[in-house]
Chain A
Amino acid sequence: MRKGASFQQDFLIRGGDFSGAGRVSCEIKDLLKELGLSSQVVRRVAIAAYEAEMNVIMYAREARFDLVITPQKVRIIVEDRGPGIENVDLAMQEGYSTATEEMRELGFGAGMGLPNIKKNSDRFRIISEPDRGTRLEMTILTNGQGLK
C-alpha cells in the first residue's frame, strides 16, 4: 500500500487474545527492519507498539493499529473499543495499574505501559472516553532515516 514516499498498514487486535499477544508488534518490527530504519528507531517503535498491544489485549474488546511510515517519522494510532480510562492522569503514573492477578502472572500489569509508550515516543497523545474506548497516538521521529 505504498503511496508516494509513505507506507501505511492497518492491523487488528482482539481483546483477550493472550496467546497472540506481541504478534502485531513483531510484524511491525520486522517491517521496519526490512525498510532499513535504524535499530534505535525500530526498538523504540517495537517497545511502544508492544505496550499498546498488551493494553488492548488486557483491557479492550478490540482495536485498530494504524501504522504510517514516512521519511521523517513512524506514527501509530491505536483506536480501541473498550471500557476507556476513567482517570488518564492517574493511568500515566508509573506503577498505577488496574491489572488482574492473571495478567500479572503473565508478566504484565506493573503499571508501566502508558509511561513507557510516552518514554519511547517523541510525540504522544491520549484521549479516552469511559465506556467507549481510548485513542493513542504515538510518533517516533526518524531524523530523515525513515522510509527512503
Chain B
Amino acid sequence: MTMTLKDILALVDGELLTPEMDLGIECPEIFASDLMSDVLTFIKPGSVLLTGLVNSHAVRTACLTDVTAIVFVQGKRPDMKVVDEARERNLPVISTGLSMFEACSRLARSFPERTR
C-alpha cells in the first residue's frame, strides 16, 4: 500500500498549513533538498519535497515539477503569501519541527514496509 499524505503528516508530527486540502493523495516518492537546482534536475513527478527553503521559489519549483506536497523542516514556516500561492496552485504544504535528517529517517523507516 502506498503512503498517503495523511501518513506523512502523522510520521513527521507535522502541521498542515493548507487545511482544506485532500490528505488522501498517494505519495509514492520522497525527495529531500534545499537546492532547487537539484529538485529541477532530479525529482520524479508525484514526489513529496522535504526542504528547509521557505521562499516562493520552493513553491514555484514544486509546481513546475509536479510535486504532490511540500514538507518544510526544522520548524520553518513560510510567509502567508507563500502559503497562499501554494493554496492557489492546489499544493498542500506541511511544517514540521523535525530536522531534515530526522524527518527523512522517520519516512525512510516507514516507507519500505508500506510500499514493498
Interface residues of A (CB under 8 A from B): 19, 21-23, 25-26, 29, 39, 43, 46-47, 50-51, 106-113, 116, 119
Q: Do A112 and B41 form a contact, CB below 8 Å, given A22-B56, A107-B57? A: yes
A26 touches B60 (CB 8 A): yes
Verify B64–A26 contact, CB threshold 8 A: yes
Query: A50–B43 Cα gap in the complex (Å)?
Result: 15
Q: A22-B56, A51-B40, A110-B38 are in contact. List 16 more A-B contacts (CB 8 A).
A: A19-B56, A29-B63, A47-B64, A47-B65, A50-B61, A106-B36, A107-B39, A107-B61, A108-B36, A108-B57, A110-B35, A111-B37, A112-B37, A112-B41, A113-B37, A119-B41
- Complex CA gap A108/B63 in Å reads 16
Give the interface of B toward A (CB within 8 A).
Answer: 34-41, 45, 53, 55-58, 60-61, 63-66, 89
- Report the minimum CB–CB distance from A138 to chain B (whole Å): 14
Q: Of the candidates A25, A29, A116, which one forms a contact with B41 in the assembled complex, judged by CB atoms under 8 Å apart? A: A116
Q: Are the CB atoms of B64 and A108 closer together than 8 Å?
A: no
Q: Which 7 A-B pairs have the closest CB atoms?
A: A22-B60, A110-B37, A107-B36, A46-B64, A112-B37, A107-B53, A112-B41
CB<8 Å pairs between A and B, sample of 27: A19-B56, A21-B56, A21-B57, A21-B60, A22-B57, A25-B60, A29-B63, A43-B64, A46-B65, A47-B40, A50-B40, A50-B64, A106-B57, A107-B34, A107-B53, A107-B55, A107-B57, A107-B61, A108-B36, A109-B37, A110-B37, A110-B38, A112-B37, A112-B41, A116-B37, A116-B41, A119-B41
